């Protein structure tokens, strides 16, 4: 231990004790098995693939055993492994891959908290985890609740993001946010991702006064960054219920920030259709379905039709008839829809998650 901090001594992705136990009890994940033993009755663990799993604190269990805690650099290397070797796999459905990474990232966060890792070290870890949850929210938005729980993902995303913002603020107060961070690991320096993370916070909370206020109060170099300025424009546009400007500006965002904004897309579509039901209300005239598809970022005209049916609007001959009285004013969100080319993005996935591209 150093002062109030606890410094782990486990320099592997999984402590030996846990690896032996899970191997003995047959609790290894398929991604952790030694390929040479995968067809045997009791597969062996591959030490280079086995990663500490999340476990809840139990009565009488010692959570500060140094031999079971991984120091910051090891946690970063573990995340890098997950994002480059596991997230990119194509032999399993990505919801299965997500579940594995989700659990291992929870264990990483747990190690971070137990060791009271300093704000700069926490920032490096949390930035990576935030990106994973933002991407996962879009990649799996059309999956059933049995394979992906969007509320759980959002909960963990916001927890990490709020903790991250606190760390940024603490670093700003101590004037350490401009320091280069040497974690002693080659090719792992991630640079300054604060503008991206601040923009993600604003985009996840479109139109929220508190998020807008934070954006306005950021240090000048972050407030005037390209990412934050565009995020603020989008949030202000949605605050004013200017859905056309909101969606057009979302289209200008780089990939990860677009995924963050699209977390609100089902809400945006529902509210926009309600606004249009008043603004374009008519029993005679109709609105072109393809134009609506373009305006509200639908990828498929069938989704436009489905949402019209959901909210009581008439969709006929490819056109929408808006009537204020017909709109079903409910809390039900529009149908989920993946809004990016999965194959194209998958090739860039490690770079997106590690912050090498925006």
Report pLDDT digits (tens) over 309-322. 999 999 999 999 99
Order of strands across the sheet with 287-288? 287-288, 319-321, 314-316
Q: Which residues of 159-180 are buried (b: 16+ CB within 10 A; e: fewer)?
A: ebbebbbebbebbbeeeebeee
Report d(CA 346, CA 135) in Å as an integer.
11
pLDDT band at 172 (very low <50, low <70, confident <90, very high): confident
Distance CA(202)–CA(212), nearest Å, equals: 7
Residue 315 backbone phi and psi in degrees, to 5: -115, 110
**What pLDDT does residue 346 have?**
79
pLDDT one-digit tens code per residue, 7-16: 999 999 999 9
**Which pLDDT belongs to residue 46?**
97
Check pLDDT > 50 for residue 187. Answer: no
- Tens-place pLDDT, residues 202-238: 999 999 999 999 999 999 999 999 999 999 999 999 9
343 Cβ neighbours under 8 A, 6+ residues apart:
none
Mean pLDDT, rounded, for 288-298: 96
pLDDT over 90 percentage in the chain: 83
Q: What is the pLDDT of residue 191?
A: 47
Domain range annotation of the chain: 1-56+63-117
CA distance 237 to 187: 39
Give residue 338's pLDDT band: very low, low, confident or very high (50, 70, 90): confident
- Average pLDDT of the residues in 227-254: 97
Reported as a single tens digit per residue, the pLDDT across 118-169 is: 999 999 999 999 999 999 999 999 999 999 999 999 999 999 999 999 999 9
Mean pLDDT, rounded, of the chain = 91
Q: What is the pTM of this model?
A: 0.92
Give the residue-averaged pLDDT of 322-349.
86
Q: Is 316 helix (H, G, I), strand (E, B) or coil?
A: strand
Cα separation values, 25 from 48, 49, 51, 56, Å: 19, 17, 16, 18
Comparing 4 with 63, the larger pLDDT belongs to: 63
């Amino acid at each position: 231990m150093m002062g109030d901090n606890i410094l782990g001594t486990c320099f592997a992705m999984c402590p030996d004790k846990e690896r032996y136990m899970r191997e003995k009890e047959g609790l290894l994940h398929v991604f952790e098995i030694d390929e040479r033993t995968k067809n045997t009755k009791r597969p062996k663990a591959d030490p280079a693939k086995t990663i500490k799993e999340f476990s809840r604190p139990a009565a009488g269990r010692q959570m500060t055993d140094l031999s079971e805690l991984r120091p910051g650099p090891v946690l970063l290397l573990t995340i890098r492994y997950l994002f480059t070797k596991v997230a990119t796999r194509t032999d399993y459905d990505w919801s299965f891959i997500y579940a594995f990474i989700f659990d291992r990232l929870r264990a990483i966060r747990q190690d971070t908290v137990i060791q009271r890792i300093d704000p700069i070290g926490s920032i490096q870890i949390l930035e990576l985890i935030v990106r994973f949850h933002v991407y996962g929210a879009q990649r799996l938005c059309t999956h059933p609740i049995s394979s992906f729980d969007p509320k759980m993902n959002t909960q963990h995303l916001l927890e990490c993001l709020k903790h991250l913002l606190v760390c940024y603020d603490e670093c700003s107060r101590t004037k350490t946010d401009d320091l280069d961070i040497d974690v002693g690991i080659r090719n792992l320096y991630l640079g300054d991702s604060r503008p991206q993370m601040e923009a993600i916070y604003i985009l996840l909370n479109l139109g929220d006064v508190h998020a807008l206020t934070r954006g306005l109060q950021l240090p000048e170099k972050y407030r005037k960054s390209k990412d934050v300025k565009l995020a603020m424009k989008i949030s202000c546009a949605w605050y004013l219920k200017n859905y056309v400007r909101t969606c057009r500006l979302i289209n200008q965002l780089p990939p990860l920030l677009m995924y963050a904004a699209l977390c609100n897309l089902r809400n945006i579509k529902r509210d926009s259709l309600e606004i249009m039901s008043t603004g374009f209300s008519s029993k005679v005239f109709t609105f072109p379905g393809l134009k609506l598809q373009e305006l509200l970022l639908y990828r498929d005209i069938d989704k436009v039709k489905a949402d019209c049916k959901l909210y009581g609007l008439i969709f006929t001959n490819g056109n929408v008839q808006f009537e204020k009285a017909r709109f079903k004013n409910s809390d039900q969100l529009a149908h989920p829809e993946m809004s990016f080319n999965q194959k194209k993005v998958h090739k860039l996935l490690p770079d997106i998650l590690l912050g090498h591209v925006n």
